[in-house]
């Protein structure tokens, strides 16, 4: 019988890609995706019963309160979902591999190009909860934390990725302000899913950074998407984080990914190189089966 993998947050952006890509990148696994509708992760007794019933051999934990604004608005809920539910799942998975998706937001963004040994210093509630959850997960040396940053792709309801957010805003006739002085290293969700499945195979637990190899400003990211999304034309406004109102945002969350790269069978490219590769293939931009050029 094939070993069973459980994926939480299966209706979320990355969870969807993990489930969809499994037949290609993880054919030896019997994959069960759990959405919030199927299992509310804050109901600990139900979670325990479900995990015991499913008897997984691997758990990939993607569920989270993942929007920075929602975390600032309700820090208690953010703690409950991002920290307590994660620690509980990690404890239920104490004898199996457990992979937790964290975020570059554990850093303050003052320097950029962070490596795994750099000291975290979160500046918002989301980053604080992710760091606390990481610490709970990494108490178990057989468990894994992968820090990612801005993730591109499409979701079933078209409401999960930053690309979908931008297009929705533009289609409503509104402008999208993109900071030219805020830097990220985006990756498509399909590449993240392929990387996670390869990491499962490598059996090398620990802390990893995973981002595109090119550091781009939000403005550059928006510009790079224009050829693919003509509806954005005329709606992208170049702005500065100096004028930002709201929760604190790290300025530069570029991540060095040499540690994870050494384990992979393919090269993690920069976002613009990846897009250029897609143009050459003439493929559907976010086609999850290709993963990377
Ligand atoms: N996407 C990015 O750019 C990015 C960057 C850095 C880190 N990450 C991390 O990567 C992971 C996956 O991100 P993502 O983009 O796939 O997030 P996402 O699209 O927001 O998906 C998260 C999923 O978790 C579910 N969820 C939330 N609370 C839950 C609960 N109490 N019980 C059960 N399910 C619950 C959500 O369900 P509902 O939709 O019903 O609320 C949602 O489907 C998260 O840990 C996120 O923090 C993502």
Which numbered atom of ligand 1 lies nearest the CA of 80? 31
Mean pLDDT on 67-87: 97
pLDDT value, residue 86:
98
Instruction: Write down the mean pLDDT value for the chain.
Output: 95
Gap from CA of 226 to ligand 1 centroid (Å): 26
pTM: 0.97
Of the residues 7, 8, 14, which should be mutated to test ligand 1's pocket, given the most ligand atoms within 8 Å of the CB?
14
* 277: its two tokens: 């590769």
Exposed e or buried b for every residue in 178-209, given b needs 16+ CB within 10 A?
bbeebbbbbbbbbbbbbbbbbbbeeeebebbb
CA distance 253 to 273: 19
For 269, residues 6+ apart whose C-beta sits below 8 A from its C-beta are 212, 213, 214, 277, 292, 293
Are 8 and 38 spatial neighbours (Cβ–Cβ below 8 Å)? Answer: no
Q: Which of 233-237, 251-255, 286-290 has the lowest mean pLDDT?
A: 286-290
Bigger pLDDT: 98 vs 247: 98
pLDDT value, residue 293:
46
- Residue 27 pLDDT > 70: yes
Which numbered atom of ligand 1 lies nearest the CA of 40? 32
Which numbered atom of ligand 1 lies nearest the CA of 14? 16
For 238, residues 6+ apart whose C-beta sits below 8 A from its C-beta are 177, 178, 180, 219
Does ligand 1 come within 6 angstroms of the Cβ of 18? Answer: no
Mean pLDDT on 127-139: 98
Are 198 and 263 spatial neighbours (Cβ–Cβ below 8 Å)? Answer: yes
Nearest protein CA to atom 43 of ligand 1, as residue:
12
Note the pLDDT tens digit of each residue in 147-171. 999 999 999 998 999 999 999 999 9
pLDDT value, residue 111:
97
Spell out the domains of the chain, with CATH numbers in brackets: 4-281 (3.40.50.720)
Gap from CA of 63 to ligand 1 centroid (Å): 4
pLDDT value, residue 290:
53
Does ligand 1 come within 6 angstroms of the Cβ of 106? Answer: no
Which numbered atom of ligand 1 lies nearest the CA of 63? 24
The secondary structure of 208-266 as a DSSP string is: EEE--SS-EEHHHHHHHHTTT-GGGTTTEEEE-GGG--SS---SB--B--HHHHTT-SS
Confidence of residue 288 (pLDDT cuts 50, 70, 90): low
pLDDT value, residue 278:
81
Gap from CA of 81 to ligand 1 centroid (Å): 10
Nearest protein CA to atom 19 of ligand 1, as residue:
12
pLDDT value, residue 282:
54
- Residue 132 pLDDT > 70: yes
Does ligand 1 come within 6 angstroms of the Cβ of 112? Answer: no
Note the pLDDT tens digit of each residue in 253-287. 999 999 999 999 999 999 999 998 887 655 578 87
């Amino acid at each position: 019988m094939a070993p069973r993998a459980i994926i939480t947050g299966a209706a979320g952006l990355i969870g969807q890609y993990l489930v969809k890509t499994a037949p290609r990148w993880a054919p030896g696994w019997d994959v069960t995706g759990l959405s919030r509708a199927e299992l509310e992760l804050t109901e600990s007794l139900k979670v325990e019963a479900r995990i015991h019933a499913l008897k997984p051999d691997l758990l990939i934990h993607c569920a989270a309160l993942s929007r920075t604004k929602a975390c600032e608005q309700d820090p208690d809920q953010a703690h409950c979902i991002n920290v307590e539910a994660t620690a509980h799942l990690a404890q239920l998975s104490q004898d199996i591999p457990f992979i937790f998706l964290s975020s570059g937001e554990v850093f303050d963004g003052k320097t950029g190009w962070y490596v795994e040994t750099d000291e975290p210093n979160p500046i918002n509630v989301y980053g604080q909860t992710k760091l606390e959850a990481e610490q709970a997960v990494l108490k178990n040396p057989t468990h894994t934390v992968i820090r990612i940053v801005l993730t591109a792709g499409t979701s079933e309801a078209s409401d999960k990725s930053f690309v979908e957010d931008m297009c929705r805003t533009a289609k409503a006739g509104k402008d999208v302000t993109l900071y030219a002085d805020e830097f990220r290293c985006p990756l498509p969700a399909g590449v993240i899913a392929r990387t996670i499945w390869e990491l499962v195979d490598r059996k090398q637990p620990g802390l990893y950074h995973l981002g595109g190899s090119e550091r781009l400003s939000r403005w550059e990211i928006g510009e790079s998407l224009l050829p693919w999304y003509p509806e954005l034309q005329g709606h992208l406004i170049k702005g500065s984080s100096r004028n930002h109102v709201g929760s604190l945002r790290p300025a530069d969350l570029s991540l060095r990914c040499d540690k994870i790269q050494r384990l992979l069978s393919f090269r993690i490219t920069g976002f613009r190189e990846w897009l250029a590769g897609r143009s050459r293939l003439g493929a559907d931009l976010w086609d999850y089966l290709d993963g990377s050029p």
